[in-house]
Amino acid sequence: MPKRKMVQNNLLKNSISAYFAAIEIHNKPNFSYRYETVTLLIMNAWELILKCFVKKYIKSKSIYKKDGHTISIDKAIDYTDEYINKQEPKAFIEIKENLCLIEEYRNNIVHYYNEQLEPYIFMLTAKAALNYVDFLKKYFSKDIMANEGLFILPLGFKLPFKPEDFLTKRAANYISSKESKEFISSMVKVITDLNDEGIEDTIVVGFDIYLENVKRMKNSDLLIAITSQDAADANFAKINKVQLSDDPNAQKIKLSDDEIVKLYPFTYSDICKKCRADIPNFKQGKKFNEIMSSLKENNTYAYTRRLNPKKAKTTKTTLYAASIIDEIKQRYET
């Protein structure tokens, strides 16, 4: 095997080993040095995979310095960011910012002792772990989730977990040291900056009751939630996106009449008017009635309100979501 290929394979193998070690350490019960160790391992995994990326894709760059040592993780991040940005603008920036914050914590760990920063580091390392899986799959065609039956970081954390519970100014008041407050402020600033740049992927994640429901929030959603908790006296509504489901295991929620109308703003008459305006040669005939009858049974597109839910025979009104227009249009076209 050529030396270049052998170095690349060793970097990849060792990177994955460091990644699994990070997962294993995180999920150990009663492990007092958890996040100090996890951040070292997750950053080691990323450092090796990024050097492997440079070795594989960027022929004009070397992972070796003149003294024979390999480049730093910062240099590997910069090389990767520059290369990917030329192919897909801003595609790597969220990963870069996430890793930079974890590196900041790792390099200044002595300043954060005696502080309850575990939730913040969990948010960052969990996202770094998920980003790693996606990066490995995209650029090295290796799916460790499928091949290794991997269970990801949140197994060791108390659920449910919402990032906005910890990123508000009020939550930060429970942190005493200046360095820790500045670290949390840096996290919120990165989220704000990414949102201002139109980047939806955020540097943190949270988790719902069910492990399969990873809360991949957008920066805009997260900022609304953070701000709404900071401004306790302001007329600021926290907005949760929901989708009605017939799944008996789905999380139970209660919607007010106003919230239902926001989700399903259109009447049958509204739908007919919009279809006439948006669909060429539209006719309100048999085909339309069949489509509407089918979509009416789908909670994604329609919601039927009953005047008295306890009675089988009662007045009913069906309201429709805005997304039903596109679905009707698509079915007409096919």
More confident residue, 144 or 255: 144
Per-residue pLDDT at 156 exceeds 50:
no
Q: Per the structure block, which two tokens stand in for 42?
A: 């997750």
More confident residue, 306 or 45: 45
Sequence-ordered list of residues with C-beta below 8 angstroms from that of 85, at least 6 positions apart, any chain: 91, 92, 93
Per-residue pLDDT at 93 exceeds 80:
yes
- The CA distance from 302 to 318, in Å, is 7
For residues 74-93, average pLDDT: 94
Confidence of residue 248 (pLDDT cuts 50, 70, 90): low
Per-residue pLDDT at 259 exceeds 50:
yes
Q: pTM for the complete prediction?
A: 0.61
Q: What is the per-residue pLDDT for 239?
A: 38
Residue 118 CA from chain centroid, whole number:
19
Q: What is the per-residue pLDDT for 212?
A: 43
Q: What is the per-residue pLDDT for 5?
A: 78
Confidence of residue 84 (pLDDT cuts 50, 70, 90): very high
In the chain, % of residues over pLDDT 70: 72
Looking only at the bridges linking them, the beta strands covering 302-306 and 214-215 are unpaired
Per-residue pLDDT at 177 exceeds 90:
no
List, for residues 188-221, the tens digit of each pLDDT value: 899 889 988 888 888 887 655 443 445 566 777 6
Q: Is 201 within 8 Å of 215 (Cβ atoms)? A: no
Q: Which of 33-42, 96-105, 199-208, 245-254 has the lowest mean pLDDT?
A: 245-254
Q: Per the structure block, which two tokens stand in for 203?
A: 């540097």
Mean of per-residue pLDDT scores for the chain: 79
Confidence of residue 128 (pLDDT cuts 50, 70, 90): very high
Q: Which of 173-182, 185-194, 261-270 has the lowest mean pLDDT?
A: 173-182
Sequence-ordered list of residues with C-beta below 8 angstroms from that of 139, at least 6 positions apart, any chain: 53, 56, 57
Per-residue pLDDT at 130 exceeds 50:
yes
HEC string for the chain: CCHHHHHHHHHHHHHHHHHHHHHHHHCCCCCCCHHHHHHHHHHHHHHHHHHHHHHHHCCCCCCECCCCCECCHHHHHHHHHHHHHHHCCCCCHHHHHHHHHHHHHHHCHHHHCCCCCHHHHHHHHHHHHHHHHHHHHHHHCCCHHHHHCCCCHHHHCCCCECCHHHHCHHHHCCCCCHHHHHHHHHHHHHHHHHHHCCCCECCCCEECCCCCCEECCEHHHHHHHHHHHHCCCCCCCCCCCCCCCCCCCCCCCCCCHHHHHHHCCECHHHHHHHHHHHCCCCCCCHHHHHHHHHHCCCCCCEEEEECCCCCCCCCEEEEECCCHHHHHHHHHHC
CB-count burial class (<10 Å; 0-12, 13-18, 19+) for 330:
exposed
Residues 291/293/294/297 CA torsion (nearest 10 deg) = 150
More confident residue, 96 or 310: 96
Q: Is 127 within 8 Å of 97 (Cβ atoms)? A: no
Per-residue pLDDT at 229 exceeds 80:
no
Residue listed under structure tokens 């597109």: 301
